[in-house]
Amino acid sequence: MSGIKFYSEYDMACGWELEKIIEKINNESIELEWGITDLIDFYNVLKYINIERFSDHIIQETSIDLKTYEKKIKQKIGIFVGCHKKVFINLYDEVAFDATDDFFEVLESYKLYKEIEINNFRRFLEKENVHIYTVLKFKILTDYFNEAVKDVLLSDPRNAETILSKYLKEDDLYLPPSLSETDTLSLIDKYIDSPLVNLNELRKIINFPTNKGLSITDKIKLHAKRKAEEEEERIFNNETGIKSGVMISYPKDQDEAILFTMGDRTADIKVSRNWIEENLDYPTLWNNFIYLFGFVDGTMRLELDSKKSESSALESAFRPQAAHLYYQSTSFYYKEMLSDAEIYSYVNLLNVLGVRLEEMIEWFFDVYVKDEFEISDFIVQMPSREATYFEKCRTILPELDRILKQYNALIKDGMIDQELIQMSSLSFKIKDIKSFNSKKYVYSSSDWYKTASFLLFSDQSSIFYLPNKEEYKNFFKLIISEKLTRGDFKEYQLKRMQWLFDNNLICESNLGHVEFVDQRVIYVLKELYYKEVMSYWHYPEDIQVLIEELSGSNLVDFETSLFSRNEQDYLDYYLNKSKFTNGHDIRNKYLHGTNTNDKKQYERDYYSILKLFVIIVIKINEDLCIKEDRRQK
């Protein structure tokens, strides 16, 4: 029987650990002669006993007097510690790898560290099977052996990875008090040049935020950036990376408006040039971003943004993730490559046909919103055709800000007062741009949703693995595709499925088949899981009624803004580094003169800015259309 381990009260392993505890009690293992493994096992038993629902279960299964048993455990731990306090550190080699945390916890809790000389602890830390990362989880140990821990940390550049994880709050760690910021920065700089440097760690250094208690200098960030470029070139030159690409063309002899094929990791997109040439009116040219290129879905949610559901569990485990980093999955990179190719090729084709996207933008605000929605006084001035790309970037970015400020003023005051807008020079945040429509977006807001969506849609939920049915990727796909009964599932699966039965998400039909209770609820859960947001006014009335009911039970939240949270993040990722340090920072680098002297980069940036303008126009048009539809009902 493997050792007993306490993870947390709500960990799914608790059931198995309780079974091991009950077996230990029934076998009277406490009466046997103890080794260090027994000490750690019973130290963990105490943690389970101190949780009422676990202690009740243990009593029910063993009929033991738990208070007396707990007292006996503490007595035996005290006797063992007393007998081994001088040599306790030497018992470490007998401890299993997954129990080393418990070993140090006992060392700290029973003050056994006071029996260890600092030089002996330094030699202990230098042992191959002792990991400094584990020691840093314990503040008292780290502080007590301050100099020894510091020396060991600085002896290996790879420990920079541990220090970075501490400052980025990825792990709950403590550093020795004598470790200065100069020591830390020197270690990070050495790590960058070390032979075992990790590309993901280099990206953490490059994108390290400013508010984490450690100030990584621009010089070190540049050092990391150059090293990362070397590593990326080495990886791809050795052909160990996965290559993909996009080809887009506009054949004249194609009947279909668009054809999309995928082969050998390369997307081949063919858009009918005849279709474009025969439909050069501005409304249709705008709609091509929606219906041909798919910048948004059927409910006008942005499709280009990063979504966690588009990553496998394996990819998520290896991708750098932190609140200050925009999550860049393989799927996201592919969508970026696709949308960049579409905007570049489409704009250039329109230029050949005598149409400028910049003029389409001006038309939308000068003519369309006035004719369709009786909104006047929008001012938008786009760059001229003759301007260089650098000049275009400098000229167009203030217009993006001006459009959003004018839209906010329109919502607040019912009109656009240019003099009032010009009175304020304050900057704004994308998340503060309002919407005309209340309850615009719906988000999940409960642990109930997290549990339900994991069991139903995650590829890590174990309840859908059945022999000869390996083609299904989650429980939802399995249930809608197969007629199954309880008897088709294993006992451990039924235990986890019981939550779905108890919460009225699945039931048994008259024929005994497992099925969904209310398809509408499953639909809402599915939308939130895969899209992370719902745009309330785009759904039929029965779904809206259900959403209201879920809101009344505090299972979902509403927000009123022009852009959804994901859309806000996508725009912030491009425009600034206030939220994501790995963003493009396009607005700030042209505003503050920190842009490169690279004409190709100016061109790339300009097309990226045009892409953002397209998104903004689509979202403003959608918001105004919803407002108009609601007014007419």
Query: Could you state, in order of their start, the residue ranges of all structural domains in the chain?
Result: 14-237, 279-434+565-632, 441-559
Q: Work out the angle at residue 85's Cα, subtended by the Cα atoms of residues 80 and 88, and round it to the nearest 5 degrees.
A: 90
How far apart CA 100 and CA 97 sit, in angstroms, is 6
In the predicted model, residues of the chain with pLDDT beneath 70 are 1, 10-13, 170, 235-244, 264, 313-320, 594-595
Token pair, residue 616, equals 């903004």
Chain position carrying tokens 């249709």: 284
Q: What residues pair up with 249 in beta bridges, in sequence order?
A: 270
Per-residue pLDDT, 54: 87
Task: Find, among 453, 443, 436, 437, the residue nearest to 564 by Cα.
Answer: 443
C-beta neighbour count of 425 within 10 angstroms: 5
Distances from the Cα of 456 to the Cα of 453, 459, 461, 490, 551, angstroms:
5, 9, 8, 17, 21
**Under 8 Å between Cβ of 310 and 335:** no
Helix 199-206 vs helix 181-192: angle between axes, to the nearest 10 degrees? Answer: 130
How far apart CA 621 and CA 629 sit, in angstroms, is 12
Per-residue pLDDT, 35: 93
How far apart CA 569 and CA 582 sit, in angstroms, is 12
How far apart CA 185 and CA 173 sit, in angstroms, is 18
Per-residue pLDDT, 241: 46
Task: Find, among 401, 403, 399, 407, the residue nearest to 373 by Cα.
Answer: 407
Token pair, residue 337, equals 């490559």
Q: Is 258 helix (H, G, I), strand (E, B) or coil?
A: strand
Q: Which residues contact 205 (CB under 8 A, 6 or more apart)?
A: 164, 188, 192, 216, 220, 221, 224
Q: Is 85 helix (H, G, I), strand (E, B) or coil?
A: coil
Find the DSSP H helices in 27-111: 36-49, 52-62, 66-84, 100-109
Q: Work out the angle at residue 325's Cα, subtended by the Cα atoms of residues 319 and 326, and round it to the nearest 5 degrees.
A: 85
Q: Which residues contact 531 (CB under 8 A, 6 or more apart)?
A: 297, 301, 307, 309
Burial of 403 from C-beta contacts in 10 A (0-12 / 13-18 / 19+): buried
Q: What's the helix, strand, coil split of the chain in %, to 5?
A: 60, 5, 35
